[in-house]
Structure 1
Amino acid sequence: MAETSVARGPVTVRTARPDEHDLVGELTVEVYVGGGLVEPDSGYVPELRDARARAADTELLVAELAGEVVGAVAYCPPGSRYAALAGADEAEFRMLAVVERARGRGVGRALVEACLDRARAAGLSGLRLVTQHNMPAAHRLYERLGFRRTPERDWPLESGKHLLAYHMPL
């Protein structure tokens, strides 16, 4: 897929280049582990770090502020092995990460809107995601954008906790 860049205010969202995959993996681990969202010894950490594998089966997007990559997300089209909840005519996004110093500047919103744009352009019926209980700022963002909770799609974890499912009809 050809690289496209979309400026949303001071934020530019574009497809991650192959030479940025390691950076995206480390950024994602920094946000999730450094931010206390997952434990350092969690079995999820290697998956968070492996942006190269995500890029092979998703559209790995990055957000830049002033030329610096400060966020990333994996847009999962239908058929992606990373689309765990999406139906046949839906997309999903995973592993949204924005570094602490860039929060509150529209980075997360720009990344989610880029996913919405891709799903709409593909003529899909909806966009789905799951999020952790300990991510209230993300929940507020999703709800402001029009996503609604779909508890019947909550994703159970081995720990006994559940990831919270959200959906945006398109």
Structure 2
Amino acid sequence: MMTSQSGAVPALFTAAVERGTFTLRRARQGDLPRILALLADDQLGAARESADDLVPYERAFDAIDADPAHLLVVGELDGDVVATFQLSYIPSLSRKGSWRAQIEAVRVSEVLRGQGVGALMIQWAIDQARERGCSLVQLTTDKSRVSAHRFYERLGFVASHEGMKLTL
């Protein structure tokens, strides 16, 4: 579902939280500056992300937005973008040809961390994966993000594999 930058995007999920109303919705291209600020709001992201040139991010956004196997989500608190993640669906021959869901680039504004917003997002993503018939939800988190490891473990994730990456 491609959307215009100014078009209204329907809510995917809404919940009352301590600070107001939290809503998940499909991201719009106009959300990119705020999404990039969230991605850059830690030691790892600060070195990798930059809003100085939006063109590569706009290309990536367009590819994600055009592919029904991918969903870029933002979380709003009373209309302000305060969180983001990407949910992708991947077919696999393993696990008897089942589908899996991949959660990527999870970020919650520092002022909201520890208040349940991240848990709401991840639980929504897990529910979507179930509805889509996935047999597995997977994610990666940098080894240095120890608090993120504890967060995901509280939600039932198990560090069952050793992930490897090759930067190109």
TM-score (ref. length: structure 1): 0.71
Q: Which runs of 5+ in 1 are unaligned?
A: 80-86, 159-170
Instruction: Name 1:165's counterpart in structure 2.
Output: none
SS in 1 for 2:144: coil
Instruction: Name 1:132's counterpart in structure 2.
Output: 142
Instruction: Name 1:7's counterpart in structure 2.
Output: 14
1:86-125 counterparts in 2 under 5 A? 88-125=98-135
Q: Which runs of 5+ in 2 are unaligned?
A: 2-8, 92-96
Instruction: Name 1:63's counterpart in structure 2.
Output: 75
Q: CA offsets per residue over residues 40-79 of structure 1, 9 Å max, x none? A: 2x4x768x95561443442011111222110100000125
Match of 1:52 among 61, 70, 92: 61
Amino acid at match of 2:123: E
Instruction: Name 1:36's counterpart in structure 2.
Output: 43
Task: Return the alpha-carbon distance in structure 1 between the equivalents of residues 28 and 45 of structure 2.
Answer: 26
Instruction: Name 1:155's counterpart in structure 2.
Output: 164
Instruction: Name 1:163's counterpart in structure 2.
Output: none
Task: Return the alpha-carbon distance in structure 1 between the equivalents of residues 146 and 109 of structure 2.
Answer: 16
Q: CA shift at 1:4, angstroms?
A: 3.6
Instruction: State which structure, 1 or 2, has the greater radius of gyration over its C-alpha atoms.
Output: 2
SS in 2 for 1:95: strand
RMSD of the alignment, in Å?
2.9
Q: CA shift at 1:15, angstroms?
A: 1.4
Task: Return the alpha-carbon distance in structure 1 between the equivalents of residues 125 and 155 of structure 2.
Answer: 12
Q: How many residues align structurally? A: 145
Task: Return the alpha-carbon distance in structure 1 between the equivalents of residues 78 and 46 of structure 2.
Answer: 31
Q: CA shift at 1:7, angstroms?
A: 1.8
TM-score (ref. length: structure 2): 0.71
Q: Percent identity?
A: 30
